[in-house]
Amino acid sequence: MTSVAATAHGAQAHHDDRSFVRKYIFSTDHKIIGIQFLFVSLFFLLVGGLLAMQMRWQLGFPGKPMPGGGVLPETMAPGGVILPEYYIQLVTMHGTFMVFFAIMPLLVGVFANFLIPLKIGTHDMAFPRINMWSFWTFLIGGVVMLSSLFVPDGAARAGWTMYAPLSARHDYSGASIGQELWSVSIIFVGLSSILGSLNYITTIINNRAPGMTWFRLPLSVWSLFITAILGLLALPVLSGAAIMLLFDQIIGTHFFDPAAGGQALLWQHLFWFFGHPEVYILILPAMGMVSDIIANGSRKPIFGYHSMVFAIVAIAFLGWIVWGHHMFVSGMNPTLGSSFMVSTLVIAVPSAVKTFNWMGTMWRGNLRFHVPMLHAVAFVAMFVIGGLSGIFMAATPVDMQIHDTYFIVAHLHYVLFGGSLFALFGAITYWYPKMFGRLMSEPWGKVHFWLTFIFYNCTFFPMHITGMAGEMRRLYDPNQYTFLQPWQPMRVFISISAFLLFATQLIFFVNFWWSLWKGQKAPQNPWEDNGLEWSLPSPAPHGNWEKVPTVYRGPYEFSSPQVAEDYLPQYKKLPTDREPARVPLAGH
Amino acid sequence: MTHAAATVDQMQPPYPAERGLDVYNKKLGMWVFLASEVMFFAALIGTYVILRFGATGEWARPGIVLNIKITAFNTFLLICSSVSMVKAYAAIQDGDPKKMRFWLLMTILGGATFVGIQIYEYVHLVEHGFVPSGVREGSELAALVANGTLPAATMGLYGSTFFTMTGFHGFHVTCGVISMAYLYFTKALPGKYSKQDYGGIETVGLYWHFVDLVWIILFTIVYLI
Amino acid sequence: METAHKRPNYILIWVYLAVLTAAELALAFELPISRNLKLVLLLFLAVWKAALVGLFFMHLKFERWNLRIMAIIPLPLAVIFILAGMSDHIW
Amino acid sequence: MHWWLPLKASTFTGPIDGLFLAILIITGIAFVLVEVGLIWFVVKYRQRPGRKAFYTHGNTRAEVIWTTIPAVTMVALGLVSNHYWVQIKGRNSIPPNAYPIGIHAKQFEWQITYPGADGKLGTGDDFTVRNQLHVPVGRPIMVQLSSEDVIHSFYVPQFRVRQDVVPGMDIKAWFQATVPGTYELGCSQLCGLGHYRMRAQVFVQTQDDYDAWMKQAAQEASQ
C-alpha cells in the first residue's frame, strides 16, 4: 500500500508530474478516459448525423443533386445525385455509427467511466490499464469503421443489423472490403465493451467508499452496473457472430449461407440475442442519469428508490428473453413467437413503473428548470411515446403490418433520440462542470433544448403515420410504389425538419466548445446535489480524493427536514450520524 | 492488498465499503471476464449445435475425418496441465516458490505441447483435404465423399464449425501459455510470489482451468458425437 | 491470503478426469448402443468432467455463494439461446 | 392519401386493425395520463421562493397499483393477441382448402408460379409469371415462399400480410383477399441495392376473371 499512498494524495496537494502523453493520451485516469470517449463519440455522433442528412435529402428530394454532393465520387453520387448503392451504405453506416460509436460509448464509455468512481467514492477503476485499453480498442474499431467509408467499392450495405446471407456473400451485397471492415470493427467494439464492463462490475462490487452500501448507490450507478452486466454477457455473442460472419466473408466458411447448408436465421438469432440486451444498454444508463437529474431538479427524494432498482434489474433480466420479437415474421417458429410476445409485453411493466416513479418524484416537488432538468423531463415525455409505440409491435398480429416500416423507425428514434440522446444532452450539461471546471451556457442550452424538442418531434412523429400507411424502411425511392406517392409531401416535411434538427445540434456543439475556454467558472457544487462527486473541486483532480469520503445516507436526501437547506449530501456528517462499521476485507 | 501496488495509478480505498464479494479485484475481474468468455463460447458452440441440429442431411460420423487418438492424447495432456497448474497454486499457498516454479513450468510446457499438437493436427487435416469451407476437391477426403462414406451436404458446415471452435480454443490456449510464460519470467523467477501474495497465480490458474473446461466440452461434442 | 477450506486431493480429481475420458472414448467407439443413448451419456460425462474442473480446480466448491452465482449466471442464458435456435427446426 | 392503416382488403384486416385500435386506446390513455400529468406538475410545482418540496421516499400502495394495472393489461393483451396470431400464423392456421401459389423471390424480382388448371403445384401444367400476382377473391390463398439468394419479405399492406422469404427455408403463408382490385406487393426486407424496386402488381379478381386470365396466361407461357 505504501507506493500507492504516496501518489494517492498527489492529486490535490501537490502537482501532477505525469508527462503530457501519460496525462492526456495514454492516460489511465478514469476521468480522462471518459473525456476521451466523450470527444470521440461526439465526433461519431456528428458523422452519423451527416449520413442521416444525406438519406433525408434523397427521401425528400429524390433524384435531385444534393447541395455539396458534388464532392462525392462518381460511384456514390454522380453529380451529387445519390445512387441506390450509396443510399443503402448511408442507411447501414448511419445505424452502425449511431448505435455502436455514438449512443453506446456516450452512455457507457463516457458516463460509466466518469461517474462510477466519482459516485461510489474511489480513486480510480479497479483495472486502470485495462480501462485504457477499452478506449483504445474502441478507437481502433471506430477508425476501421470510418475508413470503410473510403474504400473503393464503399462501406457495408446490409443494414446495421447485417442480415445474412446478404452480408455474408459479396456477390449478393456488391461490397467486399467494406463488409469485411464492418465485421472487423465490430469485433473491436465487442472487445472494448467487454474490457470496460469487467472493469465497471469489479469496481462497483469491490471499491465502494465506506458506508456506500448497495441501496445507497445512486440510480445512475445502479443502471450502469446492470448495463455493464448486460454488456459483459451480450457483446461476446456479437463478437462471436461477427467473427463467424468475417470467416464467411474471407475464408469461405458457410455459417450463414443457405446455398451451402448454413442458416440465414441463425445470424438473426445471434444478432438479436445480443441486440436486445443492447437495446437496454442504450437506454438503462439514460434512465439512471435521468433519475439523478429529476431528483435534483425536483428537490425531492426519488419516488420509490427500491422499486426503481428492481425495475432496472427486471428489465435487464427480461431483456434476455425477448430477442425473438425482432423476428416475428422472419419464418421463426410461430409458437416461439407467442412466448416472445408475452415476455415483450411484460417488459413494459418495469418501464411503466419507472415512468410513474419519475412522475411521483416531480409530484409536490419544487421544480428547478435548469437545462439538464429540461432534458430529463423531455426524456420522460418522449420515452413514454417510444415505449408505448413498442407495444404495437410487441403484439404479433399488429407487427405483421408495421414490421420493417417507418413505424419501427419512429419507435426506435423515439427511444434512442427522444430517450437516450435527450438524457445525454442533459447529462453532459449536468456533469460538464465536474469534467472541465466550467459551466455550459444556460441560455444557449435552453435555445438548443427547445429547438431540438420541436424539430425532433416534427421529424419523427410523422414517421408513425407513414409507417402505418405501409411505407417500408430502407427504400431508396418510396415513390416506386403508387400507394406511397401521395406521401411525398410528408417526406419533404420530415426532411426539412431533420435538416433543422441537425442545424440545431450545431448550437450544442458550439456551446460545448465555447464553454471549454470561455464558460463561466464552475463552483464545487453548481446544482446543489448530494452525490460524492460534488465534494470535489471542479474539475475533479487526478486521483479524486486524497482520502475517500465516508457515506452517511442515500443519494436523494433533498428537502430533508433534518437540515435548513434543501439538499443533504451523502458525505455530510450530521451529529446524529454514526460512522459506518469498518469491515476488513478477508484474505488480504 | 500488496499485489494491487503494481501500478502507481492503481489506487484502492483504504478499506472496503462493505464486504463486496470478499475476493480481491484481480480474481473478481477474472471471474467476470470468464462469464463473458462463457457467452463467447456459447455463441460458437450454440451455432454448431443449431447448425448440426437443423442440417438437412446426416452429419459425418465421428472418427472418419478427425484423428481421435491424437486428440484423446491432447485432451489428457490438457487435463494434466490443469492438475500441474493447481499443484503450482497449492505449492505457493504452502509457501514453496521452488515447487510452484516447477509446476508452473510443467503447465507451460503442457500447454505449449497442446498447441503444437493442434497445429500438427490442422496441417494433417488440411493435407487430407479438410478445410474451413468443407472438403477440398481432388483430395483424399473428397474421394470418401464421392463414395458416400462422408455426407456431401454437411461437410461445409462441419469444416466451418470445427475450425472455428477448435481454432478459437487454440487461440485461448496460446494466450494462456503466453501469459503464464510472462508471469513465470517477470514474477515467478524473480521470486515475487509468496505465501502472502499469489493473486497472479490464482487468477491465471482460473483462466487456464476454464480453457481446460471448454476443451472437455468441445472434445465430447466435436470429436465423439 | 489464506484458504480456510480443506484442500481437495487434486491427484484424485486428475484420476477421475482421466478415467472419465477413457470411458467417453469407449462409449463413443466401442459400445453397441443406440445413438441417442450415446449422445445423452456422452453429454452427461462431459458435464461431469466440466463440473469436476469447475468445482475443484477452480475451487468454486469452496467459494462464497455470490461468486458462484456470478459463475452460473451465463449458463441459463446460453441454454435459452441454444434451445430457441433449435426450436426453429422442430416446426 | 389514406390517413390511417391502408385499405382493408383481406380477412386479416378485421382482427389486426381491431387490435391496433385497441392498443391505440390503451396506450392513448397511458399517453394522455403521463403527458398531462407531466405538464400539470411542471406548471404547478415549478420553483417558488420560500417553498420546500414535500419530503417523501415513496408510497408502497401507489406503486403496487401502478405495477399491477400495466401487468394485468399487458398479460390480457398478450392473450388476445395470441388468439389472433394462432389464427393468422399458427402452425395449423392454413385452411386445408387453400389455393396454392408458389412465389420465388430473387434479387430483384418476384417469380410467381401458378398451379394451372389442376389447382396443384408441382404438376406439369404449372406456369410462372414475373412480378404479377393474380389471386381469386374470397378464397384462402396459400403462398409457398422460397428465395434464390438473400432474405426478402412478402408484404401486401392492404392485406396486412407479411412474411419474410428466407433462403434455405420453405415457408408457407396464407391470406384471403376480400376486395377485388389492384394492389402492390413489396419487398420489405433490405435485399440489396435494388431493394426499392422489387415490387409486383397484385390483382384480386373474381373467380371467373381469374380463371379466364389463367387460361390465357398459361397459353402465353407455353408458347
Most confident segment among A568-582, B33-47, C27-41: B33-47
Phi, psi dihedral angles at D154 (to 5 degrees): -85, 115
- Nearest by CB to D66, from A166, A352, A465: name it: A352
Contact residues, chain C, for A332 at CB < 8 Å: 88
B4: pLDDT confidence band, cut at 50, 70 and 90? very low
Of C45, C67, C86, the CB nearest to B31: C67
Query: Cβ(D158)–Cβ(D10) under 8 Å?
Result: yes
Question: Which chains pack against B, by 3+ Cβ pairs within 8 A?
Answer: A, C
The pLDDT of residue D189: 94
pLDDT at position C62 = 86
> Which residue has 467509408 as its cell numbers?
A149
Task: Give pLDDT, residue A585.
Answer: 47
CA distance, residue D100 to nearest chain A CA (Å): 18
Average pLDDT of span C10-38: 90
Going by pLDDT thresholds of 50, 70 and 90, the confidence category of residue A292 is very high
Q: Tell me whether residues A129 and B14 touch, CB distance under 8 A.
A: no
Mean pLDDT for the stretch of residues A517-542: 94
| A1 vs A85, more confident | A85
C-alpha span between A308 and A201 (Å, rounded): 19
In the predicted structure, residue A10 carries a pLDDT above the cut 50: no
- What is the band of A572 on the pLDDT scale with cuts at 50, 70, 90? very high
Give the torsion through C-alpha atoms of A277, A281, A287, A288, to 10 deg.
Answer: 120
Would B62 be classed as within a structural domain?
yes
pLDDT tens digits, one per residue of A524-534: 999 999 999 99
Q: Are strands D141-147 and D132-136 parallel, antiparallel or unpaired?
A: unpaired
pLDDT of residue A70: 86
Domain of residue A53 covers 37-517
What percent helix, strand, coil does chain B show, rounded to 5?
Answer: 70, 0, 25
Which grid coordinates belong to A510? Answer: 458550439
Average pLDDT of span B46-58: 91
Is residue A312 within 8 Å of A138, Cβ to Cβ?
Answer: no
In a domain, B200, yes or no: yes
Name the DSSP class of C73: T
Query: Residue A581 — very low, low, confident or very high, per pLDDT cuts 50/70/90?
Result: low
pLDDT (0 to 100) of residue A586: 37
D94 touches chain A (CB under 8 A): no
In a domain? residue B82:
yes
Q: CB neighbours (10 Å) of residue C39?
A: 15
> According to the model, what pLDDT value does residue A557 have?
93
Of A511-515, B65-69, B179-183, C28-32, least confident by mean pLDDT is C28-32
Partners of residue D171 on adjacent β-strands? D145
Kindly report the nearest CA distance between residue A168 and chain B, in angstroms.
Answer: 14
Residue A2: pLDDT above 80?
no
The reply to whether A330 falls in a domain is yes
Cβ-based neighbours of B155, under 8 Å, separated by 6 or more: B60, B134, B135, B141, B145
A318-329, pLDDT tens digit by residue? 999 999 999 999
The answer to whether residue B11 is domain-embedded is no
pLDDT at A547 over 50: yes
Asked if pLDDT for residue A359 goes beyond 50, the answer is yes
The answer to whether residues C11 and C34 belong to one domain is yes
Which distant-in-sequence residues (6+ apart) come within 8 Å of B115 by Cβ?
B170, B173, B174, B177
Q: What is the DSSP string of D156-200?
A: EGGGTEEEEE-TT--EEEEE-B-S-EEEEEEE-S--STTGGG-EE
Model confidence at A276: pLDDT above 60: yes
Q: What is the pLDDT of residue A560?
A: 92
C8 secondary structure, DSSP code: P
ipTM of this predicted complex? 0.93
Q: Which chains touch C (3 or more CB pairs under 8 A)?
A: A, B
Q: Total structural domains in chain B?
A: 1
Contact C29 B86 (CB under 8 A): no
pLDDT at C1 over 70: no
What CATH code is carried by the domain that includes residue A292? 1.20.210.10
C-alpha cell at D59: 408510497
Question: Taking residues A365-369, what's their average pLDDT?
Answer: 94
Cβ contact (<8 Å) for D151 and A469? no
Contact A480 D51 (CB under 8 A): no
Span A27-49, average pLDDT: 95
Chain B CB contacts of C25 under 8 Å are 68, 72, 224
Q: Is C48 near chain B, with CB under 8 Å?
A: no
Whether residue C68 is found in the same domain as residue C54: no
Q: Minimal Cα distance from C90: which residue of A?
A: A333
- The reply to whether B63 falls in a domain is yes
Please enumerate in sequence order all residues whose Cβ is within 8 A of that of B216, keeping only pairs 6 or more positions apart, or say none: B75, B79, C17, C46, C49, C50, C53
Domains in chain D: ranges and CATH? 13-89 (1.10.287.90), 99-222 (2.60.40.420)
Query: A233-270: per-residue pLDDT in tens?
Result: 999 999 999 999 999 999 999 999 998 889 999 999 99
Across the interface, of C73, C85, C90, the residue whose CB is closest to A269 is: C85
Please, what's the b/e burial string for D179-216 (b: 16 or more CB within 10 A of its CB; e: otherwise)? ebeebbbbbbbbbbbbbbbbbbebbbbeeeebeebbee
Return the CA Rg of chain A.
24
- Contact between A259 and A206 (Cβ < 8 Å): no
Write out chain C residues lying below 8 Å of A321, CB-based.
Answer: 80
Tell me the average pLDDT across A298-305. 94
Are residues A132 and A26 in contact, defined by beta-carbon separation less than 8 angstroms? yes
Domain count, chain C: 2
Q: Is the pLDDT of residue C2 over 50?
A: no
Nearest to A123 among B11, B21, B131 (CB): B11
Name the nearest CA neighbour of A83 among D109, D106, D131, D196.
Answer: D196
In a domain, C35, yes or no: yes
C36 and C14 assigned to the same domain: yes
Q: Does residue B43 sit at the A interface (CB-CB below 8 Å)?
A: yes
D193 touches chain A (CB under 8 A): yes
Which of C47, C87, A333, A260 minimizes the C-alpha distance to B49?
C87
State the pLDDT at residue D49: 86
DSSP three-state, residue B69: helix
What is the structure's pLDDT at B8? 29
Using the Cβ of A12 and the Cβ atoms of chain B, whether some distance falls under 8 Å is answered with: no
Q: State the pLDDT at residue A81.
A: 94
Longest CA–CA separation in chain B, Å: 72
Confirm or reject contact between C69 and chain B (CB < 8 A).
Answer: no
Select from C74, C77, C84 the Cβ nearest to the Cβ of A336: C84
Query: Is pLDDT above 60 for A1?
Result: no
DSSP state string for A138-162: HHHHHHHHHHGGGSTT-B--STTTT
Instruction: Please compute the mean of the pLDDT values over residues C34-38 and round it to a whole number.
Output: 88
All residues of chain A having their beta carbon less than 8 Å from the beta carbon of residue C81 are 237, 269, 273
Within 39-58 of D, beta carbons closer than 8 Å to A belong to 41-42, 45-48, 51-58
Convert D30-52 to b/e letters by CB count within 10 Å (16 or more is b): bbeebeebbeebbeebeeeeeeb
Q: CA of B111, closest CA in chain A: separation in Å?
A: 24
**pLDDT recorded at residue A42:** 96
User: For residues B68 and B64, what is the distance between their CA atoms, to the nearest angstrom?
Assistant: 9
What is the per-residue pLDDT for A576? 87
Binary contact (A333, C90; C-beta < 8 A): yes
For residue B64, give the CATH number of its domain.
1.20.120.80
Q: How far apart are CA A295 and CA A377, in angstroms?
A: 11
Contacts with A255 from chain C: Cβ below 8 Å: none
**Residue range B86-100: average pLDDT?**
93
Answer whether C80 touches A (CB < 8 Å).
yes
pLDDT of residue A582: 60
Sheet holding D141-147, edge to edge: D127-130, D109-114, D99-106, D141-147, D171-175
- Give the side-chain half-sphere CA count within 13 A for A328: 30
Residues of the domain holding B180: 19-224
Residue C29 lies in a domain: yes
Q: With contact defined as beta carbons under 8 Å apart, do A125 and A203 qualify? A: yes
Which chains sit next to D, with 3 or more Cβ pairs under 8 A? Answer: A
Overall average pLDDT of the D141-152 stretch: 95
pTM for the whole structure: 0.94
Closest CA to D130 of D116, D114, D119, D147: D114
Domain count, chain A: 1
Restricting to A residues 121-140, those with a Cβ less than 8 Å away from any Cβ of B are: 121-124, 126-130
Residues A204-230, mean pLDDT to the nearest whole number: 93
Task: Tell me, yes or no, whether A339 lies in a domain.
Answer: yes
φ/ψ of A348, rounded to 5, equals: -65, -25
CA dist., res. C79 & res. B45, Å (int): 11
Residues of B in contact with C66 (CB under 8 A): 21
Whether the CB-CB separation of D106 and D147 falls below 8 Å is answered with yes
What length does chain B have?
A: 225
Of A229, A237, A333, the CB nearest to C91: A333
pLDDT for res A537 = 93
Q: Decide: A389 and A414 in contact? Cβ < 8 Å.
A: yes
pLDDT of residue C28: 87
Q: Which residue of A has its CA nearest to B163?
A: A253
Residue B17 binned pLDDT confidence (cut-offs 50, 70, 90):
very low
- The torsion defined by the Cα of C19, C20, C24 and C25, in degrees rounded to 10, comes to -20
Sort out which chain B residues have CB atoms less than 8 A from A551's CB and list them.
17
Residue A114 CA to residue A118 CA, distance in Å, equals 7
Verify whether the Cβ–Cβ distance C73 to B35 is below 8 Å: yes
As a whole number, the mean pLDDT across chain B is 88
Work out the angle between the directed axes of helices A284-298 and A219-250 (0-180°, nearest 10). 160
Asked, for residue A20, whether it belongs to a domain, the answer is no
Q: Which residues of A touch C (CB under 8 A)?
A: 229, 233, 237, 265-266, 269, 273, 320-321, 324, 332-336, 587-588
Q: What is the pLDDT of residues A152-186, one digit of tens each?
A: 888 999 999 999 899 999 999 888 899 999 999 99
Closest residue to A320, CB basis, from C1, C77, C91: C77
Report the residue of chain A nearest B8, measured CA to CA. A4
Strand, coil or helix: what is D103? strand
pLDDT of the residue at C3: 52
Tens digits of residue pLDDT in A432-475: 999 999 999 999 999 999 999 999 999 999 999 999 999 999 99
Please tell me which residue, A584 or D203, carries the higher pLDDT value: D203
CB proximity A300 to D under 8 Å: yes
Q: Is the pLDDT of residue D85 over 90?
A: yes
* Sheet with D152-156, edge to edge strand ranges: D132-136, D199-205, D181-187, D152-156, D161-165
Q: Give the rounded percent of residues in chain A with a pLDDT score beyond 90.
A: 83
Which residues in chain A are closer than 8 Å to C87, comparing Cβ atoms?
A: 333, 335-336
In a domain, C1, yes or no: no
Give the domain extent around C44. 6-58
Q: Would the CB atoms of A244 and B47 count as touching at under 8 Å?
A: yes
Answer whether residue C52 is part of any domain: yes
Which residues does chain C have within 8 Å of residue A229's beta carbon, measured at their own beta carbons? 73
Mean of per-residue pLDDT scores for chain A? 92
Report residue A353's pLDDT band, with 50, 70 and 90 as the boundaries: very high
State how far the alpha carbon of B69 is from the alpha carbons of B64, C29, C85, D82, in Å. 12, 11, 32, 53
Mean pLDDT to the nearest integer, D41-52: 90
D18 touches chain A (CB under 8 A): no
- Per-window interface: A 169-228 vs B, CB < 8 A: 194, 197-199, 201-202, 205-214
